[in-house]
Amino acid sequence: MKNNYSALNLIFIFLGSIVLLFIVAPLLGMLLNTSPAELIETTKDEEVQKSICLTLTTSFLSTIVFAIAAIPMAYLLARKDFPMKQLVLGIIDLPIVIPHSAAGIAILGFISRDSVIGRIAESVGLNFVGNPAGIAIAMAFVSIPFLLNAARDGFMGVPERLEKAALNLGASPTRVFFTISLPLAWRNIVSGLILMFARGMSEFGAVVIVAYHPMITPVLIYDRFGAFGLKYARPISVVFIIVCLVFFIILRMLAKEKKTQ
């Protein structure tokens, strides 16, 4: 039995190594084919700097703003049963399934000047199309399912008996949510926030339809590739991957620190 188990482990390790190599090899090849001089020159490019800052800022703000509504909604989905709940869950997952170019067209119709939202925004001097606000909406549309699903799983993992006990002792529902439910589901919520931030940051299809300019980094990479070829697009890709990696490490460290406190 021990030998069979060891053989099975070896097979799993081999298959896992293939998957890991499949992920690492293209990234490593891109890094090795980019010289230090190209990386330095790219980091000094003002357009690249602005693009990366815009990407990080819009993705972060869209995550924070939409989380204000998404986290309470996730709690309701975890705790309440209501008619057509499965339909609601299906709708939540829809942005993951549909082509993101189609998502961009849908968002464009929703926020264009001819729409109700667009006319309201225009009355206060705001045009979502070609604006960072429109980019943030496009990012949120394709990424919010990750937060909703992760937060819902987190709340479902909180024992209801703890909430009921607190309510029986006289705590208000608001206090129960903020002192019991939210802290116990925090790990999943943080993971969902990081996933939403990451997915928004990497979005291209929906954003490019809503706002080609100003360019977020995925759009800039596509623009440089189309205009100048692989040689000019690859260094931006490497720099952006390094920036993303640094941010994810920091976010994971902060989440781990929050958990140990």
The 10s digit of each residue's pLDDT in 193-222 is 999 999 999 999 999 999 999 999 999 999
Q: Give the whole-angstrom CA distance, residue 133 versus residue 57.
A: 11
77 domain residue, yes or no: yes
Average pLDDT value for residue range 100-124: 91
Strand runs labelled E in the chain: none
Residue 246: per-residue pLDDT:
86
Give me Rg for the CA atoms of the chain: 22
- State the residue for tokens 């919520």: 189
Percent of the chain whose pLDDT exceeds 90: 75
Average pLDDT value for residue range 65-93: 94
Q: Where are the alpha helices (DSSP H) in 80-115?
A: 85-97, 100-111
124 domain residue, yes or no: yes
- The total domain count for the chain is 1
Average pLDDT value for residue range 3-25: 86
Residue 165: per-residue pLDDT:
94
Residue 59: per-residue pLDDT:
96
252 domain residue, yes or no: no
142 domain residue, yes or no: yes
DSSP code of residue 218: H
66 domain residue, yes or no: yes
Q: Give the whole-angstrom CA distance, residue 240 versus residue 234.
A: 10
Average pLDDT value for residue range 103-110: 94
Q: Give the whole-angstrom CA distance, residue 103 versus residue 41.
A: 35
Q: Give the whole-angstrom CA distance, residue 59 versus residue 65.
A: 10
58 domain residue, yes or no: yes
68 domain residue, yes or no: yes
Average pLDDT value for residue range 30-56: 93
CATH number of residue 165's parent domain: 1.10.3720.10
Write down the mean pLDDT value for the chain: 91
Query: What range does the domain containing 74 cover?
Result: 52-212
47 domain residue, yes or no: no
Q: Give the whole-angstrom CA distance, residue 187 versus residue 183.
A: 8
